[in-house]
Amino acid sequence: MIREKKLTLHNNSITVFLKLCFCILLINIFLNSQYTLPFMAILTTGQTIGRYEVLNLIKENIYTESYHVKSEDKDDFFLKLFVLERLPERLLDKETGKVTETELSQGIHNVHYLSHIDDGTYESGDIKCQYYVTEYMDGTLLSETIRKEGKLDEETAIAIFKDILEGLKYLHNEGLCHNDITSRNIMLPRLDKMAKIIDPGHISKRCSGKVPFDTADLDIEYCANETFASIFDEQSDIFSACAVLYAMLFGDAPWKSEAPEGVKRGRAAMLMKEKRAANPIDFGALSVDDRIKAVLSKGLSLAYGDRYKSVDQILRDLDASSEVPPIKPSDTPGADSRHKPDSEDSLLHSPNETEFEVKRGGGNGFADIAGMGELKRFLTERVIFVIKNKEMAAKYRLTPPNGMLFYGPPGCGKTFMAEKFAEETGFNFILVKASDVGSSFVHGSQEKIAKLFATAEKDAPVVICFDEFDALVPDRSIPANQYQAGEVNEFLTQLNNCSKRGIFVIGTTNRPDKIDPAALRTGRIDRQVYIPLPDAEARREMFAIHLKGRPFNEKEIDLGKLSEMTDGYIASDIAYVVNDAALVAAFSQQDITEAILESAVQNIRPSLRQDTMSFYDHIHEMMENTERRNALTHKIGFIINN
């Protein structure tokens, strides 16, 4: 009897021990996986969310779910749902409380991108969600095509590559980076050959240091080396696009990863960097056209400073009418000047690093700008007059202006205005983005900034336009920006009275409140100019510009009415409206009509919501209240019709 009790206790102990081991195993699986434990889908087939009916679940992870949905009009769309209680805090915009991915995707309307259509909130019991809706496309992922076919012919690969570049060019012009360009995020439609970029799950403004998205699921085979140090910008996007081109031509991404499964990203990144350093690609020996060899050589260079700085540079090199750029000896194995991707020398002293593109004086100037009469008059009378009439300025002892800040909502033409200002003055023009002066090494950016101004002085008179100025000269009083104090100090030094060197500085920004106040004092950035939404006159001219060259009857289209209907629309919205109307007309093989245009306006919402505009009204009021005594005393920009 006693023996039986002991045996029972022994068996119970074993059972408890096994259960404990099983629980520990489950916990370890969860902690070491990329959130692969199953969750029950929030939405079910046939359920309605907003104006959409759920057809089926496409994919899910711990905090997002993607669905194929149909609208009330029976049109197909993709819907991405964010489960807020599971969403990492860094993926939320602290100011608006909305998912950053949704916020940044709202203004995306481009033929090479799955454009934003709608967004909203959804609640089910205690579960709170946000969602946004994009275009739907019935097609095949590029990764699947490569897997099935192995390699693509050069003509097809280049056509797809150009589509990817055009999509990136649009994003970069909007001040955004995709950060996850891989073959699995490119979709090929079934009905035509135009490729589209999908999945903006890692979309952000260029960043260096703190990354506002999850990096654990990024494919390191397509990631540039600087991303392993948390630097994500236009150049890293371009590197990834060139890696996709390589994969299309040769069946695999360059430097195919052999990291064991389950290795954490940091370790995998280190192995990838070591592999790239030890196994440089002999681009000259690749069995493709010389033009493609040259593009891959420069696009996949391990030295940050040697790579393409803009999409336009690649498109120029791909142009059959241009001269084939030479392949640098340092890009081939066995060369004396073999790349050292992690050395300070390769990033700070590469021959092309400080070669900023200079656009020579010329062009139509303000004549190319629709509307904005008051702003053009102000710039002509208060700024250009002093710059162009040196003798008059000397007679009246007028201080030459040093620079201006163009600020306001995104998509209102700040950078375009800066370029046209340079043309109007006859100055040369240099456009500088944060990535152009970025460096992963201590003091590297300071050296680049100094060299930029030295280069500009040689090309004087010149306008330097700093795009997203808040990223270049962030407020040093904010603890998160302390690591950039050296770069900010260098900028401030260079900005001091740079007009005496024939340099005029223009900064453009959506967030002037994030700029270090020392940059906005007299003698540095002299003028602060608010660029608001296009007024009625500007919108009317924009419709005329975008309709030009398309089949339509000018007498039957009321541009004034269309202008009134599009109050609150930015320039890219109007371009999208006209393009959408043209697509409808082309499908039915008729001229673009008033009715088609009005229908397009009704179906396409303005990119900037009312709450966003209220935020910028607050920013404008704040900036006016802190303006210096020589700043504007009245609103400058589009004429707003009451």
219/161 same-domain check: yes
Give the H or E element holding residue 70. strand 64-71
Domain annotation covers residue 236 = yes
Domain annotation covers residue 553 = yes
Return the minimum-mean-pLDDT range out of 136-140, 503-507, 542-546, 584-588. Answer: 136-140
- Residue owning tokens 């759920």: 54
pLDDT at 429 over 50: yes
506/547 same-domain check: no
What is the C-alpha to C-alpha distance for residues 34 and 529, in angstroms, rounded to an integer? 47
Entry pTM: 0.51
* Strands of the sheet with 462-466, listed across from one edge: 428-432, 462-466, 503-509, 403-407, 527-530
Q: CA distances (Å), 399 to each of 38, 132, 389, 391, 419, in order?
A: 68, 51, 12, 12, 23
pLDDT at residue 442, rounded to an integer: 39
Closest by CA position to 248, among listed 123, 149, 334, 331: 149
pLDDT at 440 over 70: no
pLDDT at 164 over 80: yes
Bridge-based pairing of strands 127-135 and 116-124 is antiparallel
pLDDT category of residue 441 using cuts at 50, 70 and 90 = very low
DSSP state of 474: B
The string of pLDDT tens digits covering residues 21-36 is 555 554 454 444 434 3
Range of the domain at 114: 48-135
- Residue owning tokens 């979709």: 187
pLDDT category of residue 321 using cuts at 50, 70 and 90 = low
The domain boundary residue, chosen from 101, 135, 169: 135
450/471 same-domain check: yes
Q: Is 510 helix (H, G, I), strand (E, B) or coil?
A: coil
pLDDT at residue 424, rounded to an integer: 92
33 with 60: CB under 8 angstroms? no
Tokens of 67: 């669905």
The string of pLDDT tens digits covering residues 60-75 is 888 889 999 999 888 8
The domain boundary residue, chosen from 348, 383, 416: 348
Domain annotation covers residue 636 = no
pLDDT at residue 346, rounded to an integer: 35
Domain annotation covers residue 508 = yes
The string of pLDDT tens digits covering residues 558-608 is 999 999 999 989 888 898 899 889 988 888 889 999 999 999 999 888 877
The string of pLDDT tens digits covering residues 385-415 is 888 888 888 888 887 788 999 998 887 889 9
What type of residue is 299?
Answer: G
277/160 same-domain check: yes
Q: What is the CATH number of the domain that holds 96?
A: 3.30.200.20
299/322 same-domain check: yes
150/268 same-domain check: yes
pLDDT at 635 over 50: no
Domain annotation covers residue 315 = yes
What is the C-alpha to C-alpha distance for residues 548 and 568, in angstroms, rounded to an integer? 23
Provide the number of structural domains found in the chain.
Answer: 4
The string of pLDDT tens digits covering residues 89-119 is 888 887 788 898 888 888 777 888 888 888 9
What is the C-alpha to C-alpha distance for residues 120 and 98, in angstroms, rounded to an integer? 10
529/540 same-domain check: no
pLDDT category of residue 182 using cuts at 50, 70 and 90 = very high
373/245 same-domain check: no
Give the H or E element holding residue 428. strand 428-432
Q: Which residue has the higher pLDDT, 414 or 137?
A: 414
Give the H or E element holding residue 346. helix 344-348
What is the C-alpha to C-alpha distance for residues 223 and 239, in angstroms, rounded to an integer? 7
Q: Which residue has the higher pLDDT, 318 or 341?
A: 318
Domain annotation covers residue 354 = no
310/396 same-domain check: no
Domain annotation covers residue 393 = yes
Q: What is the CATH number of the domain that holds 576?
A: 1.10.8.60
What is the C-alpha to C-alpha distance for residues 179 and 578, in angstroms, rounded to an integer? 30
Tokens of 19: 């259960």
pLDDT at 545 over 50: yes
